[in-house]
Amino acid sequence: MLIAIDALPINNLSGRHVLLGHLTNLTLAHRERHRFIVLHHRENRDLRRDLGHHVQWLECPGVGSDWIGRLLWQSAHLHRLLTDLGADVVISTSGALIPRVRMPQVVLAQNPWCYVPEFHRGLADRIKARLQRVGYRAAQRQARGLFYLSEYVAARYRDDAGCGATDGRVLYVGIDQSTFDAAQPHRHFVERELEVVTVSAMTRHKAIEDVVQVLACVNTSGIAARLALVGPWSDVAYRAEIETLISRLGLRGQVTITGQVSAARLHEHYARARVFCLLSRCESFGIPAVEAQCFGTPTIVADVCAPPEVAGPGGRVVAAGAIDETTAVMRELLVDPDLWEAQSRRALSNAERFRWERVSTPLIEFFAELY
């Protein structure tokens, strides 16, 4: 059987991580039974990997990262292309059914942004969010299989569509073995800097301003902590707002904005910091929180979306927007070695749930049962 994977919607770092991790395990597990072809575009050709002779890669001309252009191209060309290739089933990575594709579709649901209206800025965002919700409802009702990155995403799809999926399963994200390897040997409390790290693609729904305000309160209380903001900024205006806030709060010497860094530097940030903090308002999973836990770094997350579910016992959960509460939790983790060591052990234990060989099992089993 030929399984086609529509990777055209994959345009960010987390999407690449999710797809490549599960694709590697799926194709390895079914290399004797099935063939695979991955469709990508010119701007994400860095997805290509040598996964064996049973996995082909096909670059689709005339399509790029623009979502409107992609939808139009899919509607006009994709069904014919898949038919010509002889595909038996297609995996959609957009969270929705691929337009006008009539063969069975398996859908990977990994983006709940359309369900969080406070972050839809302007008419274009509202139109996009509405189209996504319509597509997600159709997928919930019609997809042959639906894989959600968390129980949180599964609940949002179910509640919005008003029904369960034909075959819906949670498919968590794995953490690369290189991250677990880099975390050894484990650094204890006394080996850590008085530093907080936030790792993310920096957009408005990550609520970076909350982390900055918490740091200001921690410093005001007499703890001279620092903050590292690690990750790319997709919104130049938002970065400017955060830099203005940092200056207004007198934190220019305490906050470092790194932008995107190499894997080695990212691992060093996780290993050096005493606390990881991400107070995002919209997360389907929260990969950096688990990466930090691989290093035994206690995590603080807001009580919305998937991070509380994913951080598990290794995370401290605070109310979204509760600056005083978050400050108190952060103070404790920064200065109390016994509390820190206990939370660090829980973080290490929780991270073990997210090894790739464990989390890909639902997807591998689905294709073993269905085909």
The answer to whether residues 164 and 181 belong to one domain is no
Predicted pLDDT at 370: 80
Q: By three-state DSSP, how is residue 104 classified? A: coil
Q: What angle do CA 110, 111, 116 make, to 5 degrees?
A: 145
Nearest-angstrom CA–CA distance, 189 and 335: 9
Q: What is the CATH number of the domain that holds 206?
A: 3.40.50.2000
- Name the strand (E) or helix (H) holding 253: none
Cα-to-chain-centroid distance, residue 340: 26
Q: Are residues 271 and 333 in the same domain?
A: yes
Q: Do residues 100 and 191 share a domain?
A: no
pTM comes to: 0.93
Same domain assignment for residues 31 and 17: yes
Residues 69 and 215 in one domain: no
Q: Which two tokens stand for residue 241?
A: 């707002």
Tell me the C-alpha distance between 257 and 50, whole Å.
35
Whether 164 and 192 map to the same domain: the answer is: no
Beta strands in the chain (DSSP E): 2-6, 35-40, 55-59, 89-92, 105-109, 145-148, 168-170, 195-199, 226-230, 255-259, 275-278, 299-302, 315-318
Per the rule left: phi > 0, alpha: psi between -120 and 50, beta: everything else, 75 is alpha
Residues 221 and 344 in one domain: yes
Residues 140 and 44 in one domain: yes
How far is 196 from 175, CA to CA, in rounded Å?
A: 21
pLDDT per position in the chain (371 positions), as tens? 999 999 999 999 999 999 999 999 999 999 999 999 999 999 999 999 999 999 999 999 989 999 899 999 999 999 999 999 999 999 999 999 999 999 999 999 999 999 999 889 899 999 999 999 999 999 999 999 999 999 999 999 999 999 999 999 999 999 999 999 999 999 999 999 999 999 999 999 999 999 999 999 999 999 999 999 999 998 899 999 999 999 999 999 999 999 999 999 999 999 999 999 999 999 999 999 999 999 999 999 999 999 999 999 999 999 999 999 999 999 999 999 999 999 999 999 999 999 999 999 999 999 999 87
Co-location of 295 and 364 in the same domain:
no
How many structural domains are present in the chain? 2
Q: Are residues 43 and 87 in the same domain?
A: yes
Domain range holding 16? 2-174+356-370
